[in-house]
Amino acid sequence: MHQEIVNEGLNLHVSVDCVVFGFEFGKLNVLLLERKMVFQGKEYSDLKLPGDLVKINEDLDTAAARVLFELTGLENIYLRQYAAIGTPDRLKRQARDMEWLRQIGHPEETVVTVCYYSLINIDQEKIQKFILQDNARWHPVSQVKDLAFDHMEILDDALKSLRNELRFNPIGFELLPLKFTLTQLQKLYEIILGITLDKRNFRKKVSNIPYVISINEKEKGVSHKPAQYYTFSKKVYEKTRRTSLDFFV
Amino acid sequence: MHQEIVNEGLNLHVSVDCVVFGFEFGKLNVLLLERKMVFQGKEYSDLKLPGDLVKINEDLDTAAARVLFELTGLENIYLRQYAAIGTPDRLKRQARDMEWLRQIGHPEETVVTVCYYSLINIDQEKIQKFILQDNARWHPVSQVKDLAFDHMEILDDALKSLRNELRFNPIGFELLPLKFTLTQLQKLYEIILGITLDKRNFRKKVSNIPYVISINEKEKGVSHKPAQYYTFSKKVYEKTRRTSLDFFV
């Protein structure tokens, strides 16, 4: 194995790409960078995911955190590594991508990219504001149809991974206030999963979850019938997780 | 982002490492290579995971499949990518690892490794035999305590990923005969999860799974009370999966 290939020197580039999902009530967004270039004699711009080459002696997770920090100023955001992609032609499928690499002097060899996603709340009422770098903007995920390189596939895979994680882990609660209504909870799942859920089935399912707990408080000052508030108990969650065997759910 | 770091040339090495789990009734094994070297003037040998540098213009998945094929002659084995690791000092933590790299002329720069695992049946009654390369052997996972480089961490992570996948996906059925008893099914879960399960709870749980179906047949020629045979219905599994919403199970 290793013995057979020696002294070949540095053999590939490694980058990280970050799919940063921004949740707000109403829609799911993704953070994209505008890429400006001259292509076939004309000004041209399109969109790409944030990413960068990994530096020598830099850990992969550190590189991903650096990319996110440089774009948003946010630190300590949980970034989940979900794939590494090294398809040999991945940067060279479109003429404009090859031209762009040439213009910025990017190496033309294959770049293996390690992909991360994160999910943050960008609802301005709920979290502190943060400043995006000039060429970075939030775009509704449902409206993104074309990206540079293979970034559309990377985004699609990130969305699949996020949705899968949401089904099996209680990551959604971090996006909700401490006390929330079942309507808010259902809306959150609908937005991230991109589907409409049946209200009755949803509530039946939630009623079987021991760590979503109703508290002795209702909505105030609303014109409709005040809804019950619920809260997520991490303590109960961890206790019930340890003792259950959720094989092939 | 990419614009800032240009013309740095090839910046890192990329390798794949394969954690090949071999299931047999009785225990879970892992495929390891013996590494022989002269260390501090003495013959020395220890164990490592199979792996190799990724070749120029080789896809990551292709590289992993190649490593597995060269070791076992097996093709078309499902390999699941579960992590990429690029900790800068990962190959240099132990003196014997650095000495080995020097002896084989391996580059000393950081190697980002993309990790794969697979699960195959090595019960000789059930599958065709295959020939292992000379220095490759199956070792019971529970007895592996020390490996070269950071391979012990890579193995531990693979085991966690495998166990997690087993809980949420019906991967275990590929290791069983078409018709199996609940005792066999329980044993399989116990071996891979490394725990003892309560028989009554296990059967109760299984009885709620629509795609584990009892068939009109029992064990024959056994000295104990003949057990009912069951089968896994992929059709029912896929149908029920599509319609259920298993969020935060």
Question: Number of CB pairs < 8 Å for A and B?
Answer: 185
Of B57, B86, B87, the CB nearest to A14: B86
Burial B10-27 (b: 16+ CB within 10 A, else e): bbbbbbbbbbbbbbbeee
Q: What percent of chain A has pLDDT over 90?
A: 49
What pLDDT sits at residue B10?
59
- Interface subset of B 203-232, CB within 8 angstroms of A: 205, 209
CA A114/CA A89 separation, integer angstroms: 16
Which residue would you say has higher pLDDT here, A102 or A150? A150
Q: What is the mean pLDDT of residues B70-97?
A: 90
Which residue would you say has higher pLDDT here, B8 or A56? A56
For residue B95, what is the enclosing H or E element?
Answer: helix B95-104
By the CB < 8 Å criterion, does A66 face chain B? no
Measure in Å the smallest separation between the Cα of A13 and chain B Cα atoms: 5
Asked whether the predicted pLDDT for residue B7 surpasses 70, the reply is no
- Helices in A125-215 by DSSP H: which ranges? 151-168, 182-193, 199-207
pLDDT digits (tens, 9 = 90+) for B194-209: 889 999 988 988 888 8
What pLDDT sits at residue B58?
92
Using pLDDT thresholds of 50, 70 and 90, give the confidence band for residue A32. very high
Using pLDDT thresholds of 50, 70 and 90, give the confidence band for residue B5. very low
Asked whether the predicted pLDDT for residue A20 surpasses 50, the reply is yes
Q: What is the mean pLDDT of residues A218-247?
A: 83
- Short-list B151, B121, B136, CA closest to B68: B136
What pLDDT sits at residue A7?
37
- Range of lowest pLDDT (A26-40, A96-110, A138-152, B27-41): A96-110
- Cα–Cα distances (Å) from B217 to A12, A185, B184, B214, B224, in that order, read 56, 46, 15, 8, 16
- Short-list A7, A2, A111, A3, CA closest to B109: A7
Which residue would you say has higher pLDDT here, A89 or A66? A66
Asked whether the predicted pLDDT for residue B246 surpasses 70, the reply is no
Find residue A15's DSSP bridge partners.
Answer: A53, A113
What pLDDT sits at residue A5?
41
Return the CATH fold of B171-243. Answer: Arc Repressor Mutant, subunit A (1.10.10)
Using pLDDT thresholds of 50, 70 and 90, give the confidence band for residue A249. very low
Domains B2-168 and B171-243 share a fold: no
A83 contacts B167? CB cut-off 8 A: no
Chain B contact set for A32 (CB, 8 A): none
CATH homologous superfamily of A2-168 equals Nucleoside Triphosphate Pyrophosphohydrolase (3.90.79.10)
pLDDT digits (tens, 9 = 90+) for A174-222: 888 899 999 999 999 999 998 899 999 889 888 888 899 999 999 998 8
Which residue would you say has higher pLDDT here, B79 or A6? B79
pLDDT digits (tens, 9 = 90+) for A57-72: 899 999 999 999 998 8
Of A59, A209, A247, the CB nearest to B86: A59
What pLDDT sits at residue B167?
81
Which residue would you say has higher pLDDT here, B108 or A26? A26
Asked whether the predicted pLDDT for residue A113 surpasses 60, the reply is yes
Using pLDDT thresholds of 50, 70 and 90, give the confidence band for residue B57. confident
Q: Are B39 and B32 in contact (CB under 8 A)?
A: no
Asked whether the predicted pLDDT for residue A246 surpasses 80, the reply is no
What pLDDT sits at residue B128?
52
Residue of B7, B11, B91 to mutate when probing chain A, most A C-beta within 10 A: B11
Measure in Å the smallest separation between the Cα of B221 and chain A Cα atoms: 31
Of A59, A112, A168, the CB nearest to B246: A168
Asked whether the predicted pLDDT for residue B152 surpasses 70, the reply is yes
pLDDT digits (tens, 9 = 90+) for A187-197: 999 999 988 99
Three-point CA angle A144, A150, A152, nearest 5°: 20
Using pLDDT thresholds of 50, 70 and 90, give the confidence band for residue B11. low
Chain B contact set for A4 (CB, 8 A): 52
Pairing of strands B228-232, B212-218: antiparallel
Per-residue DSSP letters for B45-85? EEEE--EEEPPTT--HHHHHHHHHHHHH---S---EEEEEE
> What does the domain layout of chain A look like in residue ranges?
2-168, 171-243
Asked whether the predicted pLDDT for residue A3 surpasses 80, the reply is no
- Sequence-separated (6 or more) residues with CB below 8 Å from residue A219: A181, A226, A227, A229
B1 contacts A104? CB cut-off 8 A: no
How does DSSP classify residue A116? E
ipTM score of complex: 0.82
What pLDDT sits at residue B3?
41
Asked whether the predicted pLDDT for residue B103 surpasses 60, the reply is yes
B112 contacts A60? CB cut-off 8 A: yes
Long-range contacts of A171-176 (CB under 8 A, 24+ apart): A171/A119, A172/B247, A172/B248, A173/A232, A174/A119, A174/A121, A175/A23, A175/A119, A175/A121, A176/A232
Of B10, B107, B166, the CB nearest to A109: B10
- Short-list A16, A130, A119, CA closest to A67: A16
- Kindly report the pTM of this predicted structure: 0.86
Q: B195: nearest CA in chain A?
A: A245
For residue B218, what is the enclosing H or E element?
Answer: strand B212-218
Three-point CA angle B28, B32, B34, nearest 5°: 145
Asked whether the predicted pLDDT for residue B9 surpasses 70, the reply is no
